Structure 1
Amino acid sequence: MKNVFSRIIAAISVSVLAACAPQTDSATETGSVRVLAPMSNSKGSYSLDIFELKGITDLQTVAGKFVRFFLSPRIANKQLQGSAPQGRFIKNSDGAFIPANEMTQQLVTIYAHTQRLALLDEELGAGGVNKWPRDVGVAVKVRGGLTNNAFYDGNTDSMLLVPYSSEGLPIPINGGILAHEHFHSLFYKLVMGDERAQIHDRENFLERAIVEDLSVRHRRLLPISTGEEMSEAQMHMYYHLAIIRGLNEGLADYWGWMYTGDPDFIAQSLPSEKATRSLKVRDEKSVNSLPSVENIKRSLNIFYSGAADKARFSDYVTGYAYSLGTQFSRVLKRYTDIYSKARGIEDLQARKDIAKLIVKVLPKMKDDFDKLDLNYYTADKFLKSMFALNESYREEECQFLAEVISSSVATTEEALTCEKMAESEFKLVPKVEVAPVETPSVTESSLQ
């Protein structure tokens, strides 16, 4: 697909060349500018469309209100530093600008998606969290020649994209992956604001080839346990490293689906990730649980006891966080599908409704993490906090949430069930186990 888009752009460029204005016209173009870009729709498909870029201050570098680009930048003093890439355009007879090469095509597409995501922030209640323009590094050079990845860096509040060399949809054009990375910026600012929030922290990014290999391998093959377990202090630290990163990654995957409508948006560019990162499963009804505290602890102890190099154990935790994230994203997608059907609303609107709840719950998560002390943040606590923002549910929604939450609680006393409030309205309530009534046994003496 990568080469297909390039050939399409080349073909269009040749076909309109006779009716085009000189290349220098783009140097003075500002304000709202119409460009041809491969954009995704709400159903997850891509097509070449004329898109209006707003707030352009310099079309030649595709700079403006929403993005400022850097070509192969350096990072110094918590800022990207370097020159801007130079775009090349052909202007057609209708006044629209056609990217004349692959780099320009990617620049206008990134700008278009960033513009859309900024406006979507406003719609979903996250307006003002991000500051614009966003710094974006393209053709980023990473030690080891890393390719095929994107990365939000909270320290510089920038997005970094390394070269794409595969045959799928180029990452700079993949709206779902761009939305995924965009969500990391919301999580970083609303929840943590430090490296613990980033599954893509700088060290992991620089060592990405190793981390990706570990993350995939350890989803498929557990290490052999030696019986050695972590101390309680270690467990508390690594548990929260895993669940915070897992939530960050899982919610970002949901954001990518919310934005594109494509449950396989990652596989469009990274086909090898389809089995482990897709939000779509063969049996939707099997998505009905999240891991409990004890399940997560058990998994971490297995990883820890089997890790030959304890110094690299955090890499195992990173891989496990991806697995946790997929569980969160699939549960939220399943709930969204149930919500859409139960209320008879369009899929896109349902996705946005749940995204609004996510935005609202992020500051609550920060408060919960700040107050943890020696306690554990749990999957059921996240769901309870998020859906407490709803006053009532349809029966199908309530039953699904009750099942998922009850599967991840530590004790049966924390399980939930549904109680009818009014016609078609239900609420989550504690599930009360009724103890069986003992019937007095009849004895010979009692008959006398």
Structure 2
Amino acid sequence: MNIETLSAPPLPSDVAALIADMGTRARAAAKRLALTPTADKASALKAAAGSIRAEATAILAANAKDMAAGQTNGLSGAMLDRLRLDEGRLSGIADAIEAVAALPDPVGSAIDHITRPNGLALSRVRVPLGVVGIIYESRPNVTADAAALGLMSGNAVILRGGSEAAQSNRAIHAAFAAGLVDAGLPADAVQLVPTQDRAAVGAMLRAQGVIDIIVPRGGKGLVARVQDEARVPVLAHLDGINHLYIDGAADPAKAIELAVNAKMRRTGICGATETILIDRAYPAPLAIIDALIAAGCEVRGDKGIAALSPHVEPASAGDWDTEYLDAIVSIGQVDGLSGALAHIDAHSSKHTDAIVTEDAATAEQFLSGVDSAIVMHNASTQFADGGEFGLGAEIGIATGRLHARGPVALEGLTTYKWLVRGTGQTRP
């Protein structure tokens, strides 16, 4: 099916009615998906990936319009980087869909099983959440990632992308939906809100009984609004204020390589390091500073760091609580592991924090002492990504304590139910 044959439904004048109608159709699709065999879901995802590849020219043309509008509207370099598609990135989107198709299906899998003394056999099995609303900004890849994860986990999804990526999102969604229909699954399994009216976000947040959970993915303003206004459960994180602590026992070459990669590989992703903490006992802090500056990074430091180089700007109090999403890093000196843990406890957003050290005992203290969704030893924080965890695509890093934590992929989009099998037992 050509994507041009899939037209959006007429847009009601009442946005709440629009969301309610989309929710009704999504609920019907979700009931079907919950019973769809794994092989059929995998085939549909492969068809969707193939459709995206076939429509690459149209998708890239749509993205070019978004990029031109974004430059005109003064989007930051980080935002433009998140928005930009090219042949390589679009191929990566299709690859990610196919990777999800190859993952084990969580639906129906047993979490645990027990047999009671009275002979009752109890098991917990994974089931879909139902209808998942995803509100996101900038990144058009989220359209495909969320659609693929939702479908493979048996959920219908309602997508509401940001206005800066509207053209790209529509083109990707149309291609994805065309693939589903070609494979025999309903287009209503993956719907894109056909308006950029901000009232649509509010309608989704108040859609109790229509949408089962909201997943926001975007900047602090978006996520804060969702958490403040939602009447539907929310799975979210705010900032990615991630730390890289360089211990006194760190290998200098490893410390430089990890610091530059963690900050500069892609500055606009939520796994980028924003603050580097250096043990006062570490012998070569200037080499780390120089390497970051040479890589094009602006360094803002505390008094000890600023004294090491005239190229370091003094850090303000606010720098330690800032997610730059840009080629800027704050660096501070701390008194060993205890100083690092205290700073991270005060300033981390509980997303991803890492230590560089050759001391195994210190590493274990850091791994157990840092209360973040992802804690790393001798690895770049840029690995904070569902694909790198072997989970396929992910729709965000959850930093809360309930339901899911860390990369939210297939299992994070399921809940569970109890199955009880008896042989005629009655309760005395």
Q: TM-score scaled by structure 2?
A: 0.24
Q: TM-score scaled by structure 1?
A: 0.23
Bigger Rg over Cα: 1
**Structure richer in helix, relative to its length:** 1
